[in-house]
Structure 1
């Protein structure tokens, strides 16, 4: 392949084969391949820990790794730590905004809350720790800092015995399995769901997943891994857009609507619907979203190599929080200045899965008479009457 391609024939062929092998898994709904994630949850941590132990052994213990002197000091060190935190948040920012794609399968809110409350912080912390130690070990082992752990794994093949080559193969296969699961959960399903919501007449989740896979190929993603700087710049830019979305979503649900949604009207395209806004677009949301991007845009220009004011760089170092706070604050301000319908003055999270919670329509309390009359109108058969009678 030409030098300006950003990759070589070997790596491109490996990427293409992985991409090709992942296509059949997009065909099936997530619940039909759930055991793939079960296997991944056992194999991937074992492989990661084995990789960590192997790197420490090659570095003659963890002591030489953690006792390496700092290369930056003072405020530079502090901002480097903050940028690292922002990169970590950006790494799972997609899970923040796409979480409903999976939490909607939970039978009750706590099923989604507590499992993620512990697994996401702990999982990402452990993964980051392994990456930091393994990457730092490369300085001790090879005399140069290799930022990509997979490149370190390939260096393990230099002068390796047959057993060591087999170990590299097993760990690589486990990482490939982990990446397959990540692609399905964080990319294919979320993209398919969003595209389905955008064009439900023409696209379903499966078709959306394949569209995402096609885009993933033509965008030449290997350019993003050309250097650590390009990779972190990409993560930061990714975070800029997702933080603004998260700010609007959180503000709308928790502070403006206070959990109240007219579920039936969410699927209505009629002008009288409280969610119709202006030709189906919420200018509140888009204004707040763009505001959250603008606060970071100057700093992003600086991150790609242009001279910008130092203040803009500092704001961009906090890109996720800056975008989240500005977009959420702007949305709250607009909603208060120009109120819109279907909101609540107090917490009123109506249970949309009425069939499974016939005794109560709202989490934590019984259905009111008004809600019962609503169920009488929208539920088939005698289900609504049953709820109303139980209230009596």
Structure 2
């Protein structure tokens, strides 16, 4: 679970970067292989090295820097040279992480703030400077959380990584369920950038309460086990659930959101798969400007769009 939790942030923030792909498959295959295979390989190396240190030093050493120190204590000139090159690789990796993390943080923060106030995108330079300033403060004030305490023991470090899954798995579950199972790939592109109260994505006062309820449900399934992971006495069943925290949170959040959408349907959905494909050049054909949803004023169950043989909605409405 620690390995999955480590790239849980990539799962949630992935749309911030994959949205710039020209075609959907441009972002699919590269991530399908690199992320699972890369993290699986690094986890495998960590397990092998820690197990080997148990045989050599009679105790598991999970921190690679501490292991390199042990090498220096027991080795000669050849060992020191090897430690130098390994430490240089760690330093280069850390430098690359910091260089790549800053633009990634800035892009994510910029897109998140832009989605809150889309009308302010016309003040582009002013917003870019503000987002860059906020991202710099956030990055350089990270020492306030005392990150050295997280590395004081392997238990603290793995608990910290696992806590990612408690919160991020629910977000991923709601996002994936909404797109693939509730809307079935159908989106009204123009309305995604509109704050009109009559738009299909305004929901109730701008809040999709179903998503928040499902998110909380996904957290609650793991919160008892998380308390046990930090030292509290909890039932054994809660510990077993927490051992699969990402999958449990993901499944519970997805199922909760789907059931809530069945009970209280959301607007702008399709009865079958209706994602805008690569063969459609004018995406405005996927809906007409004169048609809109108003979940608050209508007071009726949400409607769904039905597609004709061409794969485009024929504007025929029926109950979801």
3-state secondary structure, aligned to 1:231: helix
Unaligned stretches of 5+ residues in structure 2: 115-119, 121-125, 290-320
Q: In the alignment, is the contact (CA less than 8 A) between 2:196 and 2:202 conserved in 1?
A: yes
Residue 276 of structure 1: CA displacement? 1.4
Equivalents in 1 of 2:288, 2:198: separation in Å?
21
Q: In the alignment, is the contact (CA less than 8 A) between 2:71 and 2:83 conserved in 1?
A: yes
Residue 370 of structure 1: CA displacement? 4.5
Change (3 A) 1:276 1:189: farther
Q: In the alignment, is the contact (CA less than 8 A) between 2:16 and 2:108 conserved in 1?
A: no
Which runs of at least 4 in structure 1 moved beyond 6 Å after TM superposition? none
> Per-residue CA shift, 1:144-197, capped at 9, x if unaligned?
221112221222222544443343232222223323434555x54454344324
Residue 373 of structure 1: CA displacement? 6.7
1:288 aligns with 214
Q: TM-score if structure 1 supplies the norm length?
A: 0.65
2:197 alignment partner, one of 247, 255, 271: 271
2:280 aligns with 360
Q: TM-score if structure 2 supplies the norm length?
A: 0.78
1:346 aligns with 272
Aligned length: 277
| Superposed counterparts of 1:1-392, under 5 Å | 86-183=1-98, 185=100, 187-200=101-114, 204=128, 206-350=132-276, 360-361=280-281, 370-371=285-286
Change (3 A) 1:183 1:297: farther
Equivalents in 1 of 2:21, 2:186: separation in Å?
19
Residue 134 of structure 1: CA displacement? 1.4
Equivalents in 1 of 2:93, 2:135: separation in Å?
18
> Per-residue CA shift, 1:215-268, capped at 9, x if unaligned?
422212111111111111111111110100000000001001111112221121
1:17 aligns with none
Q: In the alignment, is the contact (CA less than 8 A) between 1:188 and 1:208 conserved in 2?
A: no
Change (3 A) 1:235 1:270: same
Equivalents in 2 of 1:350, 1:331: separation in Å?
23
Q: In the alignment, is the contact (CA less than 8 A) between 1:296 and 1:322 conserved in 2?
A: yes
Change (3 A) 1:331 1:211: farther
> Per-residue CA shift, 1:295-348, capped at 9, x if unaligned?
111111111111111111111111111100111111111111111211111111
Q: In the alignment, is the contact (CA less than 8 A) between 2:276 and 2:283 conserved in 1?
A: no
Change (3 A) 1:111 1:270: same
Change (3 A) 1:369 1:106: closer
Equivalents in 2 of 1:300, 1:166: separation in Å?
43
Higher strand proportion? 2
Q: In the alignment, is the contact (CA less than 8 A) between 2:53 and 2:59 conserved in 1?
A: yes
Equivalents in 2 of 1:289, 1:330: separation in Å?
8
3-state secondary structure, aligned to 1:271: coil
